[in-house]
């Protein structure tokens, strides 16, 4: 695997799963999402009692607004691959540390009630917002992917501490405006990409990952329009699930199963945010989302249908990896499935440092 892809794989395994691991207890949604003045997060269903437990939170180095991934950019071929990789590594390491530290502190708060841990999340994100971190120039599609993964992670981390009451109004406004700025950039970028007959980023896993981040940011910043856009993307995708339980624009090449899996994970998270705010997305289009989830979960056991549909052997890890199934924990709580239950049991308990953590009550 190329160095750039190794970095992206490592970052994705933490950032994506930090995003995807919502609480398992469904929260009630008393009103349609567009009429609400306060968008609720799933974590509001499990309030945390504040404690004085200490938490160490050393400052992060400032993170640039720009993500410079020069690999593959023709104008930069005058410098060596080693130099290009060093430039990339600066951005990669900085975003990775912001995501990992924010998620770790947020999970510590959820488990211990530590006010210091909650304040750590708020301070880390306030400082990043003040620096306009990762909200500037994206050199390549790989840079844009890193931006999306980091945005999803920090939005989830913030949602876990938002209702602690420990952020000042100015801090909340600063963090919300920063995340919204990045989310709108992502939306504008994906909506400006032309769609063809066989592939469309907006309607494939890339677009759904951006929609998932938009949903999280919309709730975090209390912006119904961002959540509404994510819900619209959900409905378009679910309406396109074919009779085999596959998404047309994801079912191609050696990664058809992986792409469908990533889309299923994103759709489940959007549905959770919507359901929490009174929009019954799981029932949309006759509950067609369940067909997609059934197909991808069985594909992890036998990828044959994807081999048949894509016409090529599927590229899969040699053994089941947590990122492939941990997103389904919240779905399986609502809709118990013996196959998903078995897969979740197979990966075993995950540490907070990697997977985003669960509510203190273990619901």
Could you give the CA distance from residue 245 to residue 175 in angstroms, rounded to a whole number? 38
Could you give the CA distance from residue 327 to residue 233 in angstroms, rounded to a whole number? 19
Could you give the CA distance from residue 358 to residue 363 in angstroms, rounded to a whole number? 8
pLDDT of amino acid 70: 52
The residue count for the chain: 363
Could you give the CA distance from residue 338 to residue 357 in angstroms, rounded to a whole number? 23
61 versus 291: which is more confidently predicted? Answer: 291
Q: DSSP alpha helices (H): ranges in 47-168?
A: 81-112, 115-130, 141-162
Q: Measured over all CA atoms, what is the biggest interatomic distance in the chain, rounded to whole angstroms?
A: 59
Host domain of residue 50: 8-25+44-192
Q: Mean pLDDT across the stretch 297-315?
A: 97
Let me know if residue 65 belongs to a domain: yes
The DSSP annotation for 21-44 comes to ---SSPPP--S-GGG-SSPPPGGG
Give the model confidence (pLDDT) of 230-254 as tens digits: 999 999 999 999 999 999 999 999 9
- HSE-CB of 54 using CA atoms within 13 angstroms: 2
Of 335, 232, 332, 327, nearest in space to 274 by CA? 232
pLDDT of amino acid 158: 95
CB 276 within 8 A of CB 319: no
Name the burial class of residue 311, with classes exposed (0-12), middle (13-18) and buried (19+) by CB atoms within 10 angstroms of its CB: exposed
Let me know if residue 108 belongs to a domain: yes
146 versus 51: which is more confidently predicted? Answer: 51
Domain count, the chain: 1
Instruction: Quote the mean pLDDT of the chain.
Output: 84
- Residues forming a β-bridge with 51: 114
What's the first-to-final CA gap in the chain, in angstroms?
39
Let me know if residue 78 belongs to a domain: yes
What would the two tokens of residue 239 be?
């309406």
Let me know if residue 67 belongs to a domain: yes
Give the model confidence (pLDDT) of 343-358 as tens digits: 999 987 654 333 333 3
Give the model confidence (pLDDT) of 129-141 as tens digits: 999 998 888 877 8
- Residues forming a β-bridge with 167: none
Residue 62 DSSP label: P
Let me know if residue 165 belongs to a domain: yes
pLDDT of amino acid 56: 97
Let me know if residue 136 belongs to a domain: yes
Let me know if residue 157 belongs to a domain: yes
Let me know if residue 350 belongs to a domain: no
- CA 79, distance to chain mean position in Å, is 34
For 192-329, where are the E strands, in sequence order? Answer: none
pLDDT of amino acid 71: 53
Give the model confidence (pLDDT) of 36-81 as tens digits: 568 999 898 889 999 999 999 999 988 888 876 555 544 455 566 6
- CA 137, distance to chain mean position in Å, is 21
3-state secondary structure at position 67: strand
């Amino acid at each position: 695997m190329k160095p750039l892809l190794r970095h992206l794989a490592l970052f994705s395994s933490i950032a994506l799963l930090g995003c995807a691991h919502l609480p398992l207890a469904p929260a009630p949604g008393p009103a349609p999402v567009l009429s609400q003045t306060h968008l609720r997060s799933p974590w509001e269903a499990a309030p945390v009692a504040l404690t004085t437990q200490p938490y160490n939170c050393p400052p992060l180095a400032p993170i640039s607004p720009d993500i410079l991934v020069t690999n593959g950019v023709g104008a930069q071929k005058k410098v060596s691959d080693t130099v290009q990789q060093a430039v990339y590594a600066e951005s990669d390491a900085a975003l990775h540390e912001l995501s990992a530290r924010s998620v770790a502190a947020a999970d510590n708060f959820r488990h211990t009630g530590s006010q210091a841990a909650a304040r750590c999340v708020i301070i880390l994100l306030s400082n990043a917002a003040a620096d306009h971190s990762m909200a500037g120039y994206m050199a390549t599609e790989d840079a844009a992917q890193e931006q999306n993964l980091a945005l999803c992670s920090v939005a989830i981390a913030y949602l876990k501490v938002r209702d602690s009451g420990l952020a000042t109004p100015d801090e909340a406004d600063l963090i919300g405006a920063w995340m919204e700025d990045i989310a709108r950039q992502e939306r504008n970028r994906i909506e400006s990409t032309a769609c063809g007959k066989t592939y469309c980023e907006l309607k494939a896993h890339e677009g759904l990952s951006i929609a998932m981040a938009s949903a999280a940011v919309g709730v975090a910043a209390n912006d119904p329009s961002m959540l509404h856009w994510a819900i619209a993307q959900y409905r378009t995708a679910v309406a396109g699930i074919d009779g085999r339980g596959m998404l047309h624009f994801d079912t191609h090449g050696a990664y058809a199963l992986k792409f469908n899996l990533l889309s299923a994970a994103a759709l489940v998270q959007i549905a959770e945010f919507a359901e929490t705010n009174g929009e019954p997305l799981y029932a949309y289009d006759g509950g067609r989302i369940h067909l997609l989830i059934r197909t991808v979960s069985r594909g992890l056991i036998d990828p044959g249908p994807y081999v048949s549909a894509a016409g090529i052997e599927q590229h899969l890890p040699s053994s089941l990896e947590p990122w492939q199934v941990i997103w389904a924990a919240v779905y399986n709580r609502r809709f118990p499935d013996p196959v998903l239950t078995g897969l979740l049991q197979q990966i075993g308990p995950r540490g907070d440092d990697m997977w985003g953590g669960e509510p203190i009550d273990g619901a």
